[in-house]
């Protein structure tokens, strides 16, 4: 009885608020319905389903997902290798001339890839540079390469921060037992740096997945291109584009969750390991 009474009290106190909330919900439903009527949502949905399921649109989307994943994963891997090398070159004490030249080259590299839009890099790379070099690669492979070069520039900065966050005593201790600079970096400093920047790497991967949406410019079929093509084929773009956005959100959310899981298991290891 007590509960009932308090419930009645709640209604008495908040009937105005409840009324407003109901009105808002009703208005939203009405709006959605009028929009859906005006835009002929049911018809569009039918067309979408027809092209997606019956005309094998989903196959193209699956290919697109695969290509997006390939470009992002290999782009990241290439980027990690290049980024780590650049970061190491940048932290070598610049005693030797060769080192200073190397550092200049790295600075120019990073400035170029951070200073121009990725679309420009893609167009330059695919239509100008690769043909000039006499290399003919399929679009997806070219994209992996160019995205790898691009993310290498960004990852080098992340990695340099990671290396600098490792206590200087670690490198000194390694050098003091007679290990060369390169060995000390690869066995002692870089592994600790990588652990420090792992969460940032997860974000970099997510950014990469979203950035790959432009590979249609050079004829690679990724998620975006697949849905665009379906729009072009059916002359209906609204639903394909909405579904495309939804698909990206789901993929990004799943990866973000995985990154978080990995982070947590890493810090757990640290405490548990004996």
Partner 1 sequence: MNAEGNKIPLIEVKGLCKDFEDTQVLKSVDTVIYKGDTVAVIGPSGSGKSTFLRCLNCLEDPTAGSIWFDGEDLADMRVDINKHRENIGMVFQQFNLFNNKTVLQNIMLAPVHLQTKKAGGIFAKRAVKAEIKARNRETALSLLRRIGLEEKANAYPSTLSGGQKQRIAIVRALAMNPKVILFDEPTSALDPEMVGEVLDLIKQLADEGMTMVIVTHEMGFAREVADRVLFMDDGRITEDAPPAELFTNPKHPRTAEFLSKVL
Nearer to partner 1 (CB atom), residue 132 or residue 177: 177
Asked if 97 touches partner 1 (CB under 8 A), the answer is no
Smaller CB separation from partner 1, 9 or 180: 180
Our CB check for partner 1 shows the closer of 188 and 213 to be 188
Residue 43 or residue 173: which is nearer to partner 1 going by CB? 173
Task: Tell me which residues in 231-270 interact with partner 1 (CB under 8 A).
Answer: 270
Which span (44-52, 133-141, 187-195, 226-234) binds partner 1, by CB under 8 A?
A: 187-195
Stretch 164-183 residues interacting with partner 1 (CB under 8 A):
167, 169-170, 172-180, 183
Nearer to partner 1, 117 or 169 (CB): 169
Are 75 and 212 spatial neighbours (Cβ–Cβ below 8 Å)?
A: yes
Query: CA–CA separation, 178 vs 216, rounded Å?
Result: 52
Q: Which stretch binds partner 1 (CB under 8 A): 7-15, 42-50, 188-196, 237-245?
A: 188-196
Residue 182 token pair: 């390169």
- Of the residues 40, 114, 187, 268, which one makes contact with partner 1 according to CB under 8 A: 187
How far is the C-alpha of 144 from the C-alpha of 215, rounded, in Å?
Answer: 10
* Tokens read off for 47: 């067309």
What is the DSSP annotation of 130-143?
HHHTT----HHHHH
| Residue 96, number of CB atoms within 10 A of its CB | 10
What DSSP designation does 217 have?
G
Q: Are 154 and 203 a contacting pair, CB within 8 Å?
A: no
From the list 75-83, 99-107, 122-130, 184-192, the region that binds partner 1 by CB under 8 A is 184-192
DSSP string across 223-262: HHHHHHHHHHHHT--HHHHHHHHHHHHHHHHHHHHHHHHH
Q: Does residue number 195 form part of the binding site for partner 1 (CB under 8 A)?
A: yes
Q: Which residues bind partner 1 (CB under 8 A)?
A: 95, 167, 169-170, 172-180, 183, 187-188, 191-192, 195, 270, 273-274
């Amino acid at each position: 009885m007590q509960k009932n009474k308090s419930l009645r009290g709640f209604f008495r106190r908040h009937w105005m608020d409840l009324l407003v909330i109901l009105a808002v919900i009703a208005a939203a439903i009405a709006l959605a319905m009028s929009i859906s009527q005006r835009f002929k949502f049911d018809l569009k949905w039918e067309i979408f389903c027809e092209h997606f399921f019956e005309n094998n649109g989903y196959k193209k989307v699956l290919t697109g997902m695969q290509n997006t994943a390939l470009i992002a994963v290999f782009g990241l891997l290439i980027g990690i290798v290049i980024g780590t090398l650049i970061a190491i070159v940048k932290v070598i004490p610049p005693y030797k001339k060769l080192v200073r030249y190397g550092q200049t080259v790295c600075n120019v590299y990073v400035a170029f890839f951070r200073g121009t839009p990725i679309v420009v890099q893609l167009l330059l790379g695919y239509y100008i540079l690769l043909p000039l070099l006499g290399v003919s690669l399929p679009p997806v492979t070219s994209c992996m390469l160019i995205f790898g070069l691009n993310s290498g520039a960004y990852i080098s900065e992340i990695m340099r921060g990671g290396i600098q966050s490792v206590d200087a005593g670690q490198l000194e201790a390694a050098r003091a037992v007679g290990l060369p600079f390169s060995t000390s970096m690869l066995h002692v400093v870089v592994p600790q740096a990588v652990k420090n920047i792992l969460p940032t790497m997860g974000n970099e991967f997510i950014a990469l997945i979203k950035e790959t949406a432009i590979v249609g410019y050079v004829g690679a079929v990724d998620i975006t291109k697949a849905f665009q093509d379906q729009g072009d084929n059916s002359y209906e773009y609204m639903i394909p584009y909405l579904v495309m956005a939804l698909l990206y959100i789901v993929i990004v959310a799943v990866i973000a969750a995985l990154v978080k899981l990995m982070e947590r298991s890493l810090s757990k290891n640290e405490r548990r390991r004996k």
